[in-house]
Amino acid sequence: MILNNQFLDALDEFVFIVDAEYKIRAFNKSFASLYFSHFGEYPEIGQEGLMNYSPNLGELVRSSFKRGFSGERFKINNQVNGVYLEFTVSPIFDVNQKVESLVVSAHETTQTNNLIKKVSAQEEKYQYVVENIHDVIFQTDAVGNWTFLNKAWTDIFQYTVEESLNTPFYSYLHPDDVRKNELLFEPLINRKKKFCRHVIRYITKAGKIRWIKVFATLLINEDDEIIGTTGTLRDITDEIVNEHFNELLLNNVRDLICIHNQDGTYLFV
């Protein structure tokens, strides 16, 4: 059975039919236009389908036709002269259930592929920023286990991301700050605040104290249920140490300390 051209021309997709000798037996106007735009001539009934224009394309066509004549219906994606196409190869059976011809249809997916590339490029850019920022970016599940940590986690706390995921965040807090952290998080968990920001002590893998500025907000699903938290951890240990050192120095020195500029104006006493 060969479909008539009037039926084929009504289809938006590019369609052609080949027989068991891989020769074109019918095609529609969409296919003819595509064929001409790529090969500079129109297809003809009886010519071998697409196999004599390049070795790579010819091999792809032969292997695809072979699969089709084995009775398999399948889809395949390929790029032809910069245009992305998705082909569907469908066998047509005779009364003895033997494949007598193949219907090959295709539609252009260039726009979709370009969108996928654009999204992939954006994801790569985002991933680069996430992995190279100095702050820890985190996510937890509803019970407080880490579900995402970027590379800064290891840089600050020496724990690897792999060994830390699915472990409770509070196990890394200074023991004396666990209850304090619970109280600071309560308004967020009870949805009295949209976010929380506070300073808390964490313990590194080496047992050292790090002062961490926490910013956190809730993760909410489409059913308005809390499924976790997300936010950042910033190491401000050096700031805290310097602040305490300066305070200690000023409060314990007995002599008068003053700073003035060249014209004698006092800047600090």
pLDDT in tens, 160-217: 999 999 999 999 999 999 999 999 999 999 999 989 999 999 999 999 999 999 999 9
Residues 107 and 137 in one domain: no
> What CA–CA distance (Å, rounded) separates 39 from 34?
9
Structure tokens at 41: 């001539």
- 121 within a domain of the structure (yes/no): no
Number of domains in the chain: 2
How far are the Cα atoms of 50, 94, 187, 197, 247 from residue 145, in angstroms, in the given order? 56, 61, 19, 19, 37
* Pair (74, 153) in one structural domain: no
Residue 86 counted as domain residue:
yes
Question: Residues 81-131: pLDDT tens digits?
Answer: 666 777 888 888 888 889 888 888 877 766 555 655 665 566 665 666 666
Domain harbouring 93, CATH code: 3.30.450.20
Look at residue 203 and tell me if it is in a domain: yes
Q: Is the pLDDT reported for residue 39 higher than 80?
A: no
Q: Examine the domain organization and report whether 107 and 183 are in the same domain.
A: no
- Residue ending a domain, choose from 82, 113, 144: 113
Alpha carbon distance 215, 96 (integer Å):
71
Q: Averaged over 209-238, what is the pLDDT?
A: 91
pTM of the model: 0.49
Per the structure, the complete domain to which residue 92 belongs is given by: 5-113
Task: Name the strand (E) or helix (H) holding 139.
Answer: strand 136-141
Does residue 118 lie in a domain region?
A: no
Please determine, for residue 72, whether its predicted confidence score (pLDDT) is greater than 80.
yes
Specify whether 46 is located in the same domain as 138.
no
